Amino acid sequence: MARLLIVDDEAKLLRLLERLFAEHGHRVTTATRAEDAEQRLEQADFDLLITDVRLPRRSGIELLQAARALQPELQVVVMSAYGTVSGAVEAMRLGAFDYLLKPFELDGLRMIAERALHAQRIQRENLYLRGEVAGGPGRSLVADSPAMRRVLQLVQRVAPTDTTVLVLGESGVGKELAAETIHALSRRAERPLIRVNCPAIPKDLLESELFGHVRGAYTGADASRAGKFELADGGTLFLDEIGDLPPAQQGKLLGVLETRRFSRVGSGEEIQVDVRILAATNRDLEQLVAQGRFRSDLYYRLAVFPVVIPPLRERPQDLPGLAIELCERLGQRLGRPGLTLEPELLASLSAYDWPGNVRELRNLLERAAVLSSGDRIRRLHLPGVRSAGASGDSEVDTAPAPSSTRELAGAVEEFKRARILRALEDAGWKKQRAAEALGLSPRALSHYLRRFDLESERGGEPQGE
């Protein structure tokens, strides 16, 4: 549901347009003068302004300029019965979405309005989602251990529903990636996944970040702004590190989760959204509830479907796959697509305790990739990593014997072959889809197909699309 302001001095046309857009689920406010319309723009936020050019005393072009100054995200459609090329050019130069000549078909205006509203949603998302949308190309849950296979089964079971999910686990285990996967497998996948890092937002700005604010709501609020809940409308809102949410905001959040209704800071107008909630924390929420530091009613509202991600030290079977996937992604990002890990390094990584979990593994591999000069990351590039129980200044462990090195290298190759084969089968042997699932370019996938002789598995080269 969008909020429309329609301005025209013809009362009959105004009533007709009000009824048209109301019947299509929009909230409509009308005005017959530019002065009245500007006053409404100062009092409330709108998604779309539709205005006639010829109005008493002040023109629609003047209103367009004032509206864009008051609400920069507002889309504007200009109507005129006295259209000229210069008038249309001027309106578009000042930021109008479209210029429509009277008389017009009602369906034509409605389609222009829907396009303008779609453009406004994209504009809002782009404003706030650079660096905010969780996820990235090629990311997937590695589930080679029994524990992570169980997690993946839960994720696949709950993803198609709209059930609220609480992802639990230590810092760095991949809670954000689990949330990305749930969203990607949901019916909301085409809409945004908006991430809120609760502890990173100052307490006095948290409410504004979540629910937005109107112009003048507080010092520095020079323009109205949509909050995360509005940006996530139709999609998913991911409340990361929810255990660090200040007590003062917990009650407010609970009310919004129950009703999906809220008001922007400084406004009394209610906004309703359709949002799925995912939350994550590395804190023990039950313990926080017992200590009176987290509301029990909010906890039960969030923990409808808990998913626990085990720490990396409890799932060593996942480590080779994680390391290989991270290395391949690093190679692409650093412009070194042939980057690989030597078997001795994999053996060393498997012996380490990983207190920082997957995040620590990723950071260490990136540092090692920068230090390495060739196409292979070696154990000597990670001198600071020690295995669990190691002491002194020695490296992780001693190099394995040549025979064990060859065995490990063979195991790694078989692991990679099996992973690529499984991706091809899951993609119905469509090469483009399989490459996307693996986080590889089609060219890199073709290299692996030849290397592992996978064309023969299905009697020929996989299809391109």
Do 295 and 176 share a structural domain?
Answer: yes
3-state SS, one letter per residue, for 68-82: HHHCCCCEEEEEECC
Q: b vs e for 132-148, b when ≥16 Cβ sit within 10 Å of the residue's Cβ?
A: bbbbeebbbbbbbbebb
Stated as kind and residue range, the H or E segment containing 44 is none
Amino acid at position 187, single letter: R
- 301 vs 101: CA distance, rounded Å: 51
Stated as kind and residue range, the H or E segment containing 198 is none
Of 129, 155, 178, which residue sits at a domain end?
129
Torsion of CA 445, 448, 454, 460, to 10 degrees: 50
Domain that holds residue 35: 3-129
End-to-end CA distance of the chain: 37
Please give the structure tokens belonging to residue 194: 């908006």
Bridge partner residues of 180 (DSSP): none
Residue 138 falls inside a structural domain: no
Do 242 and 388 share a structural domain?
Answer: no
Taking phi over 0 as left and psi of -120 to 50 as alpha, with beta for the rest, 441 belongs to beta
Do 322 and 228 share a structural domain?
Answer: no
Taking phi over 0 as left and psi of -120 to 50 as alpha, with beta for the rest, 350 belongs to alpha
Do 320 and 306 share a structural domain?
Answer: no
Which residue carries 């129980």 as its tokens? 389
- 363 vs 301: CA distance, rounded Å: 35
Do 151 and 288 share a structural domain?
Answer: yes
Tell me how many domains the chain contains.
3
SS3 call for 28: strand
SS3 call for 91: helix
What is the DSSP track for 127-188?
Answer: HHHTTTB---TT------SHHHHHHHHHHHHHTTS---EEEE-STTSSHHHHHHHHHHTSTT
* 53: CATH: 3.40.50.2300
* 358: CATH: 1.10.8.60
Tens-digit pLDDT string for the chain (465 aa) = 688 999 999 999 999 999 999 988 888 999 999 999 999 988 887 889 999 999 998 999 999 999 988 887 789 999 988 766 677 778 888 888 888 888 888 988 999 998 888 877 766 655 444 333 333 444 567 888 888 989 988 998 999 999 999 999 999 999 999 999 999 889 998 888 999 999 888 888 888 989 999 888 888 788 888 889 999 999 999 999 999 998 888 999 999 999 999 999 988 888 999 999 999 999 999 999 999 999 999 999 999 999 999 999 899 888 888 888 888 888 888 888 788 888 777 777 877 888 889 999 988 898 888 888 778 888 777 765 554 444 433 333 333 333 344 444 455 566 667 778 877 887 888 888 787 777 666 777 777 787 777 766 665 555 555
Bridge partner residues of 263 (DSSP): 270
Residue 135 falls inside a structural domain: no
Residue 201 falls inside a structural domain: yes
Do 438 and 377 share a structural domain?
Answer: yes
